[in-house]
Structure 1
Amino acid sequence: MSIKLDLYRVFWMVGKYKSFSKAAGKLFMTQPAVSQSIQQLESELGTRLFNRTSKGVTFTEEGSLLYEYVHSSLSLIDTGEEKILEFKNLTAGELKIGVGDTISRHFLLPFLEKFHSNYPNIKFKIENGTTAETLAMLKSGEVDIAVCNLPVNDPALEVMPCMEIQDIFVCGEKYKRLLRKPLQLEQLVRLPLIFLEPNSNSRKYVDQFLEKQGVDVSPEFELGYHDLLLDFAKINLGIACVTREFSKEYLNRGYVWEIPLEMEIPKRSIGVCYLQSVPLSSASTKFVELIERGTTYYY
């Protein structure tokens, strides 16, 4: 656009009030400055826009036609600015989160509930997937943040650990004899094992730990859902590798029992990831802050 937007605003204000002096007052400008702006606009367009009279101004035919377009355009700009303000004040907008089913159920739900209570006009879009899938969605712009299993080593991402978790092995009634004394890892892997599927971050973490100890694992079952591991262990199909923090209901009710190990698997974390190169939206920033405040006591 060869003509500055502020000239059109001056034109629009003069046309609205049919007066140079009233327009000047609304724009906090001097009347000569308003007159000069209109003259510059008329010169740029090569046509007269107003008829000047002692009582004020009236539109020429060209001015009346232009006013309708300028009025529509500036109204759209004002509406856009209002919408941006709504997003900043969290009275409108959408928060897109990538997260796995298990983390969503056992970790994220209370934060979603509190955020919705504080900002009821923000809509949620939850995309489920493994850690690898949610991070791919994050990088492609499909989600604003990803809540996933750590560790995640990617220089393009900001990673905020939120909660420590412990991988353990549990059994049902049939295998309660294993609770008498801590098991060696070599003894453990000779039992029928139930693991998550190999492409999950949780499974990879445990596999890497066992590999470092020189222990090969060949599970009897490989499943895609954490709670299904607990159900399989409960009905004595084998020894399940689960997350202690996500298994409290089963453990507290005596559906399964934790098997003591001579060497515990090191703790890992759940965390929030987002792109370093892309500023978080107001909604995303508030949600990350909410999680950070709510999980401080874990560290």
Structure 2
Amino acid sequence: MGGADRMQVDWYRSFTEAVKWKSLSKAAVKLNLTQPAVSKHIRSLEEAFGVELFRRGASGVELTEAGMRFLQRIAPVVAEIESIKTEMREFAERPNYILGSLPSVAAHVLPGKLRELHDARYPLAVSVRPTSGELLEGVLNGAFDAALIDEPAAGRLWSRELFTEHFVAIFPEGHRFSGCEELSIAELAEESFVFTGFCNIRERVTEAAGKYGYKPAVKLEVDSYDYLLGMITVGNDITVLPELFRKQAKRLGLKSALIKECGLRRTISLVARTAETGSKMFRLLNSGVPQEYLAQTP
């Protein structure tokens, strides 16, 4: 937009403020201008249109007939310009982040929040990676502004816990564990397992089982959570997944039980390259997390 165009907008604003306050001096104060500047804007308008817009008197200024007609036409224009300025200012202040996420969190936690952010015109792109290690690497090399991970972050990254959840054993209808609300790792010793091959659940279950003197019998590893649950629906094997999968398992007709085992829980943390980015992202995301999973935060 050229200088003359910008000046015209200023002319219009000087005109509408003078009408509002019936005073060029008061209009000047509201616009943070000098009175001679406002007077010059009004004269420029009158010269441009070849009409007199105000009658000036001791008590202030009053609109002429031409001025009243001009006000009817220009007031909506000025209001629209102010609205555009406000909207553009909001866009300039909104973050445009890339968030890395584990598949389970992306599928079960983020969709509702992403809709909220989209409706509020806060652009947030999500990129899914199968492991926390890949997500951490993405934050460190600048591919992501922040990421949602389930293991300790590198020391030089900002980090904040978002929520903590149990793991659950998932098994088919009619399994001997049907009707159980809770299970221990010790009770799973005679079971055969199906795991995914791209996360550390198998390692964590194996470590916990070692405390009871056994190593889990792993029948199969697959590369998809959907395929994993599909395998459980057609067999007698079980799997162990984060609690977020409980609703999805129920929709498939599967049963689940909380695994109550000391130290066997998963904490999802938000990590970011800077404290400023991390704090902003935390505020955006925290309200979208289901209340039952919220961690205590300062």
Q: Same fold (TM over 0.5)?
A: yes
Q: How does 1:202-213 map to 2 (within 5 A)?
A: 202-213=201-212
Residue 162 to residue 86, structure 1, CA distance change in 2 (3 Å): same
CA RMSD of aligned residues (A): 3.3
Cα displacement string for residues 229-278 of structure 1 (whole angstroms, at most 9, x for unaligned residues): 22211112511112222221322x471112476757633222211125x7
2 CA distance for matches of 1:168 and 1:210? 15
- Look up the match of 2:254: 256
Q: How does 1:139-288 map to 2 (within 5 A)?
A: 139-149=140-150, 151-174=151-174, 176-179=175-178, 185-197=185-197, 199-251=198-250, 253=251, 255-259=253-257, 263=261, 266-276=264-274, 279-280=276-277, 285-288=279-282
2 CA distance for matches of 1:259 and 1:288? 31
Aligned-pair CA distance for 1:215: 3.2
Aligned-pair CA distance for 1:179: 3.2
User: Conserved in 2, the CA contact under 8 Å of 1:167 and 1:265?
Assistant: no
2:214 partner SS: coil
Aligned-pair CA distance for 1:196: 2.2
- Look up the match of 1:292: 286
Residue 89 to residue 183, structure 1, CA distance change in 2 (3 Å): closer
1 CA distance for matches of 2:155 and 2:238? 37
Cα displacement string for residues 21-68 of structure 1 (whole angstroms, at most 9, x for unaligned residues): xxxxxxxxxxxxxxxxxxxxxxxxxxxxxxxxxxxxxxxxxxxxxxxx
Cα displacement string for residues 180-224 of structure 1 (whole angstroms, at most 9, x for unaligned residues): 667663452332201122x51444433333334443223111123
User: Conserved in 2, the CA contact under 8 Å of 1:147 and 1:270?
Assistant: yes
Q: How does 1:45-124 map to 2 (within 5 A)?
A: 88-90=92-94, 94-120=96-122, 122=123, 124=125
Residue 288 to residue 106, structure 1, CA distance change in 2 (3 Å): same
Amino acid at match of 1:108: L
- Look up the match of 1:6: none
- Look up the match of 2:130: 129
Aligned-pair CA distance for 1:126: 2.2
1 CA distance for matches of 2:173 and 2:252? 9
Residue 201 to residue 217, structure 1, CA distance change in 2 (3 Å): same
Structure 2: 5+ residue runs without aligned partners? 1-88
2:267 partner SS: strand
2 CA distance for matches of 1:119 and 1:186? 49
Amino acid at match of 1:89: E
Aligned-pair CA distance for 1:163: 1.9
User: Conserved in 2, the CA contact under 8 Å of 1:96 and 1:143?
Assistant: yes
Structure 1: 5+ residue runs without aligned partners? 1-84
| TM-score w.r.t. length of structure 2 | 0.58
| TM-score w.r.t. length of structure 1 | 0.58
1 CA distance for matches of 2:170 and 2:206? 17
User: Conserved in 2, the CA contact under 8 Å of 1:168 and 1:241?
Assistant: yes
Residue 132 to residue 213, structure 1, CA distance change in 2 (3 Å): farther
Residue 263 to residue 102, structure 1, CA distance change in 2 (3 Å): closer
1:227 partner SS: helix
- Look up the match of 2:38: none
1:161 partner SS: strand
